[in-house]
Structure 1
Amino acid sequence: MTASSNHNTTAAIAAPDRPQTATFPRIKFSKRGFSIDHPDPEAGERLMADAFGVADSDAMYGILKQLVKASVNGARLDHANLAFMISMMQGIKPRDAIEAMLAAQMICVHVTAMRSAQHLAGADNIQCQDSAARALGKLVRTFPAQIEALNRYRNKGEPAITVQNLSVQDGGKAIVGNVTQHARMIVSQPGAPAALADARTVPMPIVGEHEQVIATHDAPA
C-alpha cells in the first residue's frame, strides 16, 4: 500500500470509546492506492486491526480493501461513505475474524440497500422501479438475517428466548420483568395443567431460529 505525500484525502473519524490521547488512524488516498495515515505507522495498523477485531495487518488490510471497493459510488471513491463504513465497524466491535467478516458484509448490504432506495426514488419508468424495488427488497431481508447470524455466533449458536407476561396460580412464584435465556431454557407449555404451581415443566419445542416470546395462559378457575 503506497500513497503520495502531495495528494491525499483523509477519511474515517475518531474511534468512539477511545481515549482522547489515542489518535485513531485515517485513510490516505493517492493515484496509486491508499494507506493508513498515522504518526506511528505500526500503532496505526494496530489501532485499525483492533477496531476490526482481527489479529494481524494482513487480515486488517484485506477487510479495509474490501470496504474501500464497496464504498465506490459509480466510478469514484466516496470518502464520506468509507468513513461511515469504518465507523460502523468500530460501532459493531467485532471480536474475531468471523465477526469482522460478518460486520463488513452487514455494512456493505446496508450501504447497497440505501443506494437501491435512492435508485427507486429516482426511477422514471416502471422497469427501473421494479428492478430497484426487487433489489431493495432482497437487501432489506438479508440485513436482519445477518444480524441474527452475528448474534447467534456471539451466543455460541443458541438463539435467545424471551419470556414475559407470566400468569401464576396460587402457590406459584412469579418473575417480575422480562427474562432472556438461551434455547436450553425450560418453560411450561401453554395448556399444561398447573405447570407453574407444581413445577412440572416440559421442554418447549423450538419453532424457529428467531427470538421467541412465550406467554403462558391463565388456567381456568
Structure 2
Amino acid sequence: MMAKAKNGSGPAKARGANKQQRTITLPLTDSDDEAEAYRVLAKDVPGWDKLDKDERAELLRLIRDYRKRGAPAKVKMARKPDGGWSIEPTGKSEMLALLKLHETFSANSIDPVNARANELLNYLGSVGADNEARYNAALSFIESMKPQDQAEALLLVQMYCTHDAAIRALSQLGKAEWVDNARMFGNLATKLLGTSQRQMETLARMRRGGEQVIKHIHVDNRGGQAVIAENVNQGGGKAKNEEQCHGAGNTGSGPAMLGQDAQGNGVPISSRERAEAVQDARRDESRRA
C-alpha cells in the first residue's frame, strides 16, 4: 500500500524537496480470533492506543477487506531509445505478475494482453499521462471489474478512456474564459458522459445474459385506456399473467379478453335456455280468399 509524502519539514525544505512514496506495511490479521487480531494490531499499528473501540473495529475490518481484494496487477515503464515505452511486469515473481495481467484482461495468451496494454498506453500518451501511476490506476480499475471474457475486457478499456476524456473536458470547461470555448467543452463532456453511461448499460446487459422484458398491453374497451404491465423473465422464458385468460397458443397479438369489472358488473353470459320462438311474419295461407 503506497502513500505519497514529502521529505523534510517547514516551507524552505518543502520547496526544495522531491516527492517520494512511503510504504505502509499492513499487519497480518488472518486469524478469525478477534482478540488475537487486536493483539497483533496493538503491536504493529502506530497510535493504536489512541483509537477508541469503534475505530479499532473499523481498522480491523478495513485491513481484512483490503487483503481479501488482493493486490492488482502492476507494471513498470521505461523509456526506450526511440522515444517509446517498454512495459514490464513488476514484483518479486515474474510469473505471478504475468498471470495477474492475464487475469486483468481475461486472456489465455499474451497477444490480447499486449493489444489492450498498447491501447491504454496510446490513449494515455495522447493526453500526456503516460506514466506508471496513471497506467497502473487503469489496470486497477479493469481488474476490479473482473472481466469475464475478452469482450468485457475490451469494453472496460473503452470505459476507462471515455471516463478520463469526460473528466478532462469538464476540467477544461471550468477553465474556459470565452463562451464559445465553454459551450464546446460542455457539449463534449455531455456526449462523453452519455457514452460512458451507455457503456455501463452495455456491460450490465452482457452480464445479465438472456433476460427479457415482455410488455403486455391491456385495453379497457369501455374507457379506451391502455394499461402496460412489464414482466421480467430470466433466460427467455414466457411471462405469466395472473389476471388475464389466454387461449392455447395465444401470443398476445389479438385483442385482450374482458376481465374482472372493478364496478362489480359481470361479463354478459349467454343463457342455455331455449330461446322463445319468433312469430312467423308471413300471412296465414288459410285466410286467403
Instruction: Tell whether the structures are fold-level matches, with TM greater than 0.5.
Output: yes
Tell me how far 1:138 sits from its aligned partner: 1.2
Amino acid aligned to 1:220 = A
Matched, 1:117 2:163: no
Q: Is the 8 A contact 1:25 1:38 kept in 2?
A: no
Rg larger for: 2
Distance 1:76 1:100, change over 3 A: closer
2:78 to 30, 51, 75: 30
Amino acid aligned to 1:70 = Y
SS at match of 1:71: helix
Tell me how far 1:180 sits from its aligned partner: 5.0
Matched, 1:80 2:130: no
Residue equivalent to 2:6: none
Counterpart-to-counterpart distance in 1, 2:134 and 2:72: 18
Amino acid aligned to 1:196 = E
Structure 1 regions of 5+ residues with no counterpart?
A: 1-8, 11-16, 164-178, 189-194, 206-217
Q: Is the 8 A contact 1:116 1:132 kept in 2?
A: yes
Amino acid aligned to 2:236 = R
Tell me how far 1:145 sits from its aligned partner: 1.6
2:94 to 41, 44, 63: 41
Number of paired residues? 175
TM-score (norm 2): 0.50
Instruction: Give matches, 1:151-170, under 5 Å.
Output: 151-156=204-209, 158=210, 161=213
Amino acid aligned to 1:155 = R
Distance 1:78 1:29, change over 3 A: closer
Distance 1:57 1:204, change over 3 A: farther
Matched, 1:89 2:142: yes
Q: Is the 8 A contact 1:49 1:57 kept in 2?
A: yes
Q: Is the 8 A contact 2:76 2:132 kept in 1?
A: no
TM-score (norm 1): 0.63
Counterpart-to-counterpart distance in 2, 1:18 and 1:40: 21
1:104-128 Cα offsets, whole Å, 9 max, x none, are 1111111111111111111111121
Residue equivalent to 1:181: 233
Instruction: Give matches, 1:186-201, under 5 Å.
Output: 186-187=238-239, 196-197=242-243, 200=246
Q: Is the 8 A contact 2:162 2:196 kept in 1?
A: yes
Distance 1:23 1:115, change over 3 A: closer
Tell me how far 1:155 sits from its aligned partner: 3.4
Coordinate RMSD, CA, aligned: 3.7
Counterpart-to-counterpart distance in 1, 2:146 and 2:252: 33
Counterpart-to-counterpart distance in 1, 2:176 and 2:193: 19
Structure 2 regions of 5+ residues with no counterpart?
A: 1-19, 22-64, 216-230, 254-259, 264-289
Q: Which has the higher contact order (CA 8 A, sep 6+)?
A: 1
Amino acid aligned to 1:128 = N
Tell me how far 1:23 sits from its aligned partner: 5.6
Amino acid aligned to 1:29 = M
Tell me how far 1:198 sits from its aligned partner: 5.5
Q: Is the 8 A contact 1:186 1:203 kept in 2?
A: no
Tell me how far 1:76 sits from its aligned partner: 4.4
Instruction: Give matches, 1:16-27, under 5 Å.
Output: 24-27=72-75
